[in-house]
Amino acid sequence: MNDSQKFLKDRTINWYRSRIDPKTMRELVQRSDFQGFRQALGHLGLCTITGTLAYLLFLWMNGENWLWSLPLLLVALFLHGTFSSFLGGTACHELMHRTPFKTKALNEFFLRIFAFLGWWDYVWFRPSHIKHHQVTVHNDYDGEVVLPAKFTFKDWRFWLRLFGWDPLATWDTLKIYFKRATGHMDNEWYEFLMPEHDQKLRSKHQNWARYTLWGHAAIAILCITTGHWFLIVLINGRQYCGWLQFLCGQPQHFGLSPNVPDHRLCCRTFTCSWLPAFLYWNMQHHIEHHMFPAVPFFNLPKLRGVIEHEMPPASHGLLTTWKGLLEIHRRQIKDPDYVFIPKVPKPIDEENINRAEDSILEREAGLTQA
């Protein structure tokens, strides 16, 4: 198949950026192995705790105690699915930026761990996210996030994925990985990012799909042959109870303006309590992340404090954030052309606005492919 022509390659965008004192900026971009281990091992640790709890409850459940043990098991699985749903795209996103750990090899090591456990295609995601940062939600250039984004509450599978398990979604994931393992591309965006002439990248992509399938198959076989089949639910099949990941991830760009050179108008920042912020790797600070992608996730709250005078107001809490999103959702159903335009403070010096080309954002994010 020929390289896809749907997406365009050449686009230079001068993005608006707040001015920051160079000394302050040097402090903000400092990586930390301690912070990286704290986040990565903490996230994996939470999943291990909930998975262990679920497995112990499964072992204890019998015909005499199932009236109380089954509800407890379902609660444990709900927590396990909730925490595990952040293992894929959320954790891999930050690790792919190479910002959590000061030691570069640790970023790559944990990227592969999280990608394997979360069934995440990091090989595709790297060139995709490079493009997303360069041309954020610009039509015909950004295929990772396309505005207007759409979702519906009328689909029963939508609710099943959020609060239960959708077997069809799991089957779709397996089919997609089998296709990738045999060298087939999923869609035009994949074709654009991994063209036929780049056989090295395509081979790497194909091999990762094979490693993922072989690895999970080996784990499943081991679990079955040793009599611990329920571990498959906890290790291999985490595609359930993704409600919190959806609530955190959907606000990033939803209902905002495409084709604007200002992240304050096409990205959204909100605040939330410590647990969602931890699981979401602080990506609720999404304007700040896009404006200064070299800043590690653990310094994004500090960055917010430095440039807050130029930022639109952040909604406080997921409940308040989603009240606003649902209003936008209702308005877009009635008027598909509607976009929400945040109130953006005027710059102090309008004639000397700081700008950053997309190539600068790419370099600062550490996104150039290895």
- The backbone region for 175, taken as left when phi is positive above 0, alpha when psi lies in -120 to 50, beta otherwise, is alpha
Q: Which whole-number Å values give the CA distances from 262 to 14, 15, 159, 319, 356, in the listed order?
A: 9, 6, 34, 26, 10
Q: In whole angstroms, give the CA distance from residue 220 to residue 329.
A: 41
pLDDT at 357 > cutoff 70: no
Q: What are the pLDDT digits (tens) for 37-94? A: 999 999 999 999 999 999 999 999 998 999 999 999 999 999 999 999 999 999 999 9
9 found inside a domain: no
Q: In whole angstroms, give the CA distance from residue 124 to residue 133.
A: 15
6 found inside a domain: no
pLDDT at 351 > cutoff 60: no
4 found inside a domain: no
61 found inside a domain: yes
Rg for the chain, CA atoms, rounded: 21
DSSP 205-260: HHHHHHHHHHHHHHHHHHHHHTT-TTHHHHHT---B--HHHHHHHGGGTTT--SS-
Please name the residue that has the structure tokens 């403070």: 345
154 found inside a domain: yes
Domain around 25: 14-364
Q: What are the pLDDT digits (tens) for 308-329? A: 999 999 999 999 999 999 999 9
Total number of domains constituting the chain: 1
pLDDT at 166 > cutoff 70: yes
Q: In whole angstroms, give the CA distance from residue 273 to residue 319.
A: 11
Please give the model's pTM, rounded to 2 decimal places: 0.91
370 found inside a domain: no
Q: In whole angstroms, give the CA distance from residue 343 to residue 262.
A: 13
